[in-house]
Amino acid sequence: MQRIAVDMDGVLADVFAQYLDWDERDTGIRKEREALLGKPELEAFAGIPQYLYTSGFFRSIPVVKDSQKILLELTKKYEVFVVSAAMEFPQSLPEKLEWLLEHFSFIDWQHVVFCGSKQIIKADIMIDDHLKNLNYFEGRTILFSQPHNHFVQHDKHTRVSSWQEIARLLL
């Protein structure tokens, strides 16, 4: 059975939607997604350094569309691990775990990994929205589209824009 390492933020957790909401709450202005294409997240939302350390931020992120249904299907055909580079923000760890066990209750704790560098991850397929994770991975790589990676050029990764596309690729 092939093993898939699935990223959390930007793949299961719609952190961009959360940034948009919190930014609007703080500034009174709703930013346009199109205006943020290609911008690093930190540049797109000035509040990020503060949000990431705010209690409740990670616990209340919306779920990426279709990810629950399709990840559940994937667990029937693959060994699925959720792998999140969460170590930079210690207070996020219990929040992220609670979030995951609530929204993806079919993933047990045995199949959750919080790490710093993902270079230590052994799997056959990696789904991630950041090249820094995909570029060092030796298996099959799937780049999940997010505004910050919109203009990224790449030869070796398969880009997908939705979980429906992941289903077409892997199911």
Does residue 9 have an active-site annotation?
A: yes
Question: Please, which residue, 109 or 151, has the CB nearer to its own copies?
Answer: 109
Q: Is 132 helix (H, G, I), strand (E, B) or coil?
A: helix
The answer to the question of residue 8 lying near its own copies (CB under 8 A) is no
Residue 2 makes contact with its own copies by CB under 8 A: no
Known active-site residue 14: no
Stretch that binds its own copies, among 43-51, 115-123, 143-151, 152-160 (CB under 8 A): 115-123
- Which DSSP string do the residues of 18-82 spell out, in sequence order? HHHHHHHHHHS----GGGGTT--HHHH-TTHHHHTTSTTTGGGPPBPTTHHHHHHHHHHHSEEEE
Residue 56 buriedness (CB in 10 A; 0-12 / 13-18 / 19+):
exposed
In the shown chain, the binding pattern of residues 32 to 61 toward its own copies, with x for contact by CB under 8 A and - for none, equals ------------------------------
Torsion of CA 69, 70, 75, 79, to 10 degrees: -140
Task: Provide the minimum distance between the beta carbon of 62 and its own copies in the complex, in angstroms, as a whole number.
Answer: 21
Is the Cβ of residue 8 or residue 36 nearer to its own copies in the bound state? 8
**Which CA distances in Å does 99 have to 61, 93, 114, 158, 161?**
8, 10, 13, 28, 23
Segment lying near its own copies (by CB under 8 A), choices 13-21, 48-56, 113-121, 143-151: 113-121
Residues at the interface with its own copies (CB under 8 A): 3, 5, 81, 83, 87-88, 90-91, 93-94, 97-98, 108-117, 119-123
Cite the active site residues. 7, 9
